[in-house]
Amino acid sequence: MKKTLLIIFIIVIVIQFIRPKKNISNEVINDITTVITVPENVQEIIKTSCADCHSNTTEYPWYSEIAPISWYLASHVNDGKNHLNFSEWATYNNNQKEHIIKDLKKELKSRKMPLNSYLWIHKDAVVSAEQYKILLDWVNTLKAE
Ligand code: HEC
């Protein structure tokens, strides 16, 4: 029993050295706000509820330092950014934009985003019915050009 605990302890320590790269960048050159005027209230909702997984800057909570939580968060961020990255909007071609706008409408109507696992901890990121409407009204004005 003692030996098993010791082995678990060692594993927990050793995995702490495998640290995923942090998603933090202050570069704004390709940000959506450089090519589209995004209303301030929309920007605020995106920042509070979407940006941690859909931009190049994640605000990391303290426990994000601990493996394997750090790995779990990094995989969500990478996955989220692959689908939609507001910080890279200017790099998308019309086809990609069209696809993303369609996905945005779908996600906002079904209210599947942000991920539930994220909302358990980030209560401030919960999107109200009114905020979903603000986002959707804005997305409806977007054009793939
Ligand atoms: C905790 C991380 C996280 C947050 C916060 C988050 N998302 Fe996502 N998002 C993901 C992940 C992971 C995926 C890809 C997997 C999936 O579709 O579930 C994704 C996928 C998407 C997609 C593409 C869906 C598709 O069908 O391909 C859209 C659009 C999207 N998110 C919009 C949003 C919006 C809008 C917000 C804020 C209201 C938001 N997300 C908040 C992690 C997140």
Cβ-contact 78, 20 below 8 angstroms: no
Tens-place pLDDT, residues 73-117: 999 999 999 999 999 999 999 999 999 999 999 999 999 999 999
Residues of the chain with pLDDT > 70, as a percent, come to 100
Average pLDDT, the chain: 96
CB atoms inside a 10 Å sphere around CB 139: 18
pLDDT at 145: 80
Q: Give me the residue spans of the domains in the chain.
A: 2-139
Dihedral-angle region of residue 111 (phi above 0 means left; psi in -120 to 50 means alpha; beta otherwise):
left
| pTM assigned to the model | 0.94
Q: Is the CB of 127 under 6 A from ligand 1?
A: yes
Q: Tell me the CA–centroid distance for residue 29 and ligand 1, in Å.
A: 22
Rounded to 5 degrees, φ, ψ at 75 are -70, -35
Residues of the chain with pLDDT > 90, as a percent, come to 95
* Mutation to probe ligand 1, out of 76, 115, 119, 136 (largest number of atoms < 8 A from CB): 115
Amino acid at 83: H
pLDDT at 67: 96
Atom of ligand 1 nearest to the CA of 107: 29
